[in-house]
Every structure is written in structure tokens, then in C-alpha cells.
Amino acid sequence: MQNLKDWETVIGLEIHAQIISKSKLFSGASTNFGSEPNTQVSLVDAAMPGMLPVINKDCVEQAIKTGLGLNAQINKRSVFDRKNYFYPDLPQGYQISQFTQPIIGEGSIEIDLKDGSSKKIGITRLHLEQDAGKSIHDLEPNKSYIDLNRSGVALMEIVSEPDIRSAEEAQEYVKKLRSILRYIGTCDGNMEEGSLRCDVNISVRKKGEELGTRSEIKNVNSIKSIGQAVDYEFKRQTEIINSGGKIDQETRLFDEKKGETRAMRTKEEAHDYRYFPDPDLPPLEIKDDWINQIKKKLPELPDVKKEKLIKEHKISSYEAAILVSDKNNVEFFDKIINENKKRNPKNIANWIIGDLFSLLNKNNLEIKNSPVKAEDLGGLIDLIEDSTISGKIAKNVFEEMFKTKKKAKDIIEKKGLKQITSTDEIENIIDKVLNNNKDKVEEYKSGKEKLFGYFVGQVMQETKGTANPGIVNEILKKKLAN
């Protein structure tokens, strides 16, 4: 066994986020996902000789919005560079990107951790660049195909500082970044479709020492994989160093099936790419006026909404963080509150985070496709609050609602689940139970007080769980005291 106590993981993430925009970064071709191959390729995207790129203003605006969402410096002057490399799906022979002068400079993101603490992760930069096309190798054994639909699509590359120290922090960082992008509508954050792709840079060191040599794990494309890749690399790298070896700076691939990383190539240096300013594009200059206009249009960000939820509704920071992690959660919550201001916000949060999320997870559903709509959950909560049903019965009713899409009211009526609150009725049932259990009543009175729970259970059984537990307890106590 290695002693890993003194070691720590150092992680920096590079995220490629596809910009939500009708057309590409330097051409008018469409960016629709899933169209027939090579149907969305302009002459610019195919790199025909003599074609000239023209910057798409919408994409620039999206980058500025994102910069504002990341509390980052907006650089009023930035420069597009050519990053030269050969790849069959890159017809230009270079990618137009930004290198020394990106559009967005330093910023930060605040993440919430399981232990209740929060941490600031620095953003180094955000730059604009074009995506490449796609090579397809698995259609025929001896041929490869190229689909250029993606060629030229606008990406934001968002680079973090090496501030991340664990798999959990890396995952929370990506989740938080994704939620910010979705709130402001600059990237749909869909990792399965590849609109958000993550490269994980990771090194290990003894605490307090200089940064170690990193490996870069390419295209780790789910939150789960990010956690696995970090854990795997930590183990691999510490093992190598502990047995006297040295980490090579290399690019590695994550194998989702095996949960392992493996070497792909040694890392290129910046000079391998022979970066130079693209002579076809003048430097990008942004005026204060425009930035201010964009600022005014910016929607409320998750951190601001979170503070509001805590202040207005007195829910915990943990609950608020979960709710704001997805815009759809907040909308669900707000809808229930706004429909009836008397509803208890804490109960609503508990129902969403507890019972609803658990069933959604089990059924692999997203909240926007929930079979129980916000107004239906609101209706159920009202029926608990006005004592029509008990909290316990409500759990079963909720499951039934989820399964059948029926309203709480209808299920309760049909199944006779209405809570019995009439003291007379409950007293009758208690009398019956005590009469049928005379021997146990004697035992109870001679000191076996544990039997109280048994009597409660019997009453509940008689009433199929619908007797109001408070009233049952009260009357039972009185009766057993004589």
C-alpha cells in the first residue's frame, strides 16, 4: 500500500463550449445538430481558395455575456491567430483561435462542496475559436469519411487556473460552469451531444511543493467520467513517483468502458503550432457602450438567485444550491410558490430535492419531463398542510401520481386515503383495538410500555394509515392511563 496522505491532486480544466448561435463563427452556414453530413458547409468552412472569414457579431456577444457571467475581464481589444496543424477534418490546415490576446481575461467561479464549504476557482481566460469537422472511420473497413458540418462552428475555450484539488471539486466546477452557461443562454451544456467538452489537466505533488508535471486527459465527456479520470490519474501518477519514476508530460485518452486513461501522444508545445495573427481578420475591438448594453440584458445568475432564495424563503444554503444548479429546478420551485404564497417553501424544497429527484433519477428523467407537474405537486402539498392526508400517506400518493399522472385529489378520493381527524371516530377504533387486545393492555399497565407502539400500529392498520397520528397518540395515552 502506498502512503498517499501527504499527496494532493492539482487540476486545471479546459472546457470547450459550443456557442448557441444560428450560424458559424466566420460563415453564414447553419449550426443545427444532427443534420445530414456535409449539408451545412459554406465555401469558407470547406476552405476553398480565396474565401475570407467574416466575424459573426452574435458569437462575439455570446462570449462577452459569458465573460460577464464569469466575473471576468472583458478585453476591449483581442486578436485572432492561426493555430497551424494538419488533420484531415481541418481543411484550412489551421484553426482560427486566439492566443496571446483572448477576448476574455481573468475571472472566477464559486463552487459549493458537500461539506458545506464553498471555494473560488480562478478562470485564466476565455477565447473564441472554430471547431473542426468530424472524421468517420467506422462506416467502411477501408475508407474514412469526413463530415464538415461542425467545421467552423463557434467555440469558447474556457481555461481554469490549477486551483482544483479533487474529483469532487472538478465535478462541481463543471456543473457550476454549465449552469451559468445555461442561465445566460450561451451554450446548451449538452455533454452527450458534445456541445460541452472537457480536457482535464492533472498532476500530483506532495502538499506544499512546486507543481508537478501534468498529463492532459482529452475529451472527458460526462461528469461521472471526470471523477473517474481524476481518481485513476491520481493513483497512476503517485504510483509512478513512489516507485522512483517520473511523469511524462503527455496527452492521454479516457476509456469510458474501462474507466482508465491511456497515453495518446506526447504533448505539443505552443511553438509546434506556429501561432501567428490571422492576416484575414483585423483585431477585434469592443466598445464600452456595447458591453454596457449587454450587461443590462444579462439574466439573473445562479449565485444571485441562490442568495435571494435563502433570504426570501429561509431555505438552507444547501437546498438553495441544489435548486439553482439547474434553471428548470428553480422554475419548478418558483411556480409552486407563486401559485400559492401560503405554501411552506422549506416543504416545497424538500419534496423537490427528496421525493421528486429520487423518482426522476430512478426513471432517468429530467425535471422538465417530470410526470408530476409543478402545480400537481403544489396541490399535494396543500392537502398535507390542511391535514387532508398525513405526510406518510402523501409519499404513497406521490408515487402514484408519478406513475399515473393523476392528481393527488383524485387518488385520495378513489382510494379512500383521506385522513381521519374526527376524535369520535378515532376513539371508536381505539376502543375496538383495546378490546381485542385485553391481555396486552394488562401487560402495558404492569409496566411493558413498549407496547404503546403496538397499539398505534393496530389503529393504523385498522384505518389503512389514515388516522391522524397526533390524535391517535393523544387518545391512546388517555385511555391507557386509566
Q: Which residues bind ligand ADP (CB under 6 A)?
A: 10-14, 159-162, 201-203, 211-212, 214, 216
Report which of 290, 296, 300 is spatially closest to residue 61, judged by C-alpha positions: 290
Binding site for Mg ion (CB under 5 A): 14
Q: How far is the CB of 391 from ligand ADP (least distance, A)?
A: 47
Q: Which is nearer to ligand ADP, 14 or 250 (CB)?
A: 14
Sign of the C-alpha dihedral computed for residues 338, 341, 342 and 343 taken in this order: positive
Q: What is the DSSP string of 339-364?
A: H-TTS-HHHHHHHIIIIIHHHHHHTT
58 binds, among Mg ion, ligand ADP, none (CB under 5 to 8 A by kind): none
304 binds, among ligand ADP, Mg ion, none (CB under 5 to 8 A by kind): none
Q: How far is the CB of 251 from ligand ADP (least distance, A)?
A: 9
Q: How far is the CB of 183 from Mg ion (least distance, A)?
A: 26
Q: Which is nearer to Mg ion, 129 or 147 (CB)?
A: 129
Instruction: Please state whether 28 falls in left (phi above 0), alpha (psi between -120 and 50) or beta.
Output: alpha
365 binds, among Mg ion, ligand ADP, none (CB under 5 to 8 A by kind): none
162 binds, among Mg ion, ligand ADP, none (CB under 5 to 8 A by kind): ligand ADP
Q: How far is the CB of 171 from ligand ADP (least distance, A)?
A: 16
- Residue type present at position 19: I
Q: What is the DSSP string of 383-396?
A: HHHTTSS-HHHHHH
Q: How far is the CB of 253 from ligand ADP (least distance, A)?
A: 15
Q: Which is nearer to ligand ADP, 17 or 356 (CB)?
A: 17
Q: How far is the CB of 47 from ligand ADP (least distance, A)?
A: 24
> Counting every residue, how long is the chain?
482
161 binds, among Mg ion, ligand ADP, none (CB under 5 to 8 A by kind): ligand ADP
Q: Which is nearer to ligand ADP, 13 or 320 (CB)?
A: 13
Instruction: Name the residue number minimizing CB distance to ligand ADP.
Output: 12
Q: Which is nearer to ligand ADP, 104 or 426 (CB)?
A: 104
CA 351 to chain centre: 19
C-alpha cell at 321: 444550491
Q: Which is nearer to ligand ADP, 12 or 378 (CB)?
A: 12
Q: What is the DSSP string of 300-334?
A: PPHHHHHHHHHHHH---HHHHHHHHTSHHHHHHHH
Q: Are 351 and 381 in contact, with CB atoms under 8 Å apart? A: yes
Q: Are 220 and 28 in contact, with CB atoms under 8 Å apart? A: no
10 binds, among ligand ADP, Mg ion, none (CB under 5 to 8 A by kind): ligand ADP
Q: How far is the CB of 266 from Mg ion (least distance, A)?
A: 13
Q: What is the DSSP string of 18-61?
A: E---SB-SSS--B--TTPPTTSS--TTTTT-TT------HHHHH
Q: Which is nearer to Mg ion, 149 or 237 (CB)?
A: 237
Query: Using alpha carbons only, what angle is made at residue 57 by residues 296 and 65, rounded to the nearest 5 degrees?
Result: 35
Q: How far is the CB of 85 from ligand ADP (least distance, A)?
A: 13
Q: Which is nearer to Mg ion, 14 or 399 (CB)?
A: 14
